[in-house]
Amino acid sequence: VQLQASGGGLVQPGGSLTLSCAARGSTFSNYVVGWFRQAPGKGREFVAAIRWNSRNTYYADSVKGRFTVSRDSASVYLQMNSLKPEDTAVYYCAASRTIIVSSYTNADGYAYWGQGTLVTVSS
């Protein structure tokens, strides 16, 4: 499956933004789709994940209560509210059919990656 992430941009602190991740060449059925981010000079950080079939969701503590991951029939979304300057990063979506729950936060567990979309939170 090929992933296409979109929706990044510039937003003021306290604002909202929604990222999208679409599948190309396949569907997300039976996949886990995760969102990761990478700030300048830092490593890739887990943000959230959703298990496609069950719609079970998982979040990093740093975004819990502010971000929501969801899906419709074809795409996965990351709704980001109450954005902070420290949320500034390139956001990536990733997918795996074989990853286990205990590894959802590990970027190495995902076989497929989108190209990334930049989110800048600044006044």
Res 122: pLDDT: 97
Res 25: pLDDT: 87
Whether residue 1 has pLDDT greater than 90:
no
Whether residue 16 has pLDDT greater than 90:
yes
Place 8 in a pLDDT band, splitting at 50, 70 and 90.
very high
Strands 117-121 and 9-11: parallel
The string of pLDDT tens digits covering residues 36-75 is 999 999 999 999 999 999 999 999 999 999 999 999 989 9
The string of pLDDT tens digits covering residues 23-36 is 998 899 999 999 99
Q: Which residues contact 90 (CB under 8 A, 6 or more apart)?
A: 8, 37, 38, 116, 117, 118, 119
DSSP β-bridge partners for residue 95: 33, 112
Distance CA 34, CA 87 (A): 16
Q: 7-10 contacts: CB < 8 A, separation 24 or more?
A: 7/117, 8/90, 8/91, 8/117, 8/118, 8/119, 8/120, 9/118, 9/119, 9/120, 10/120, 10/122
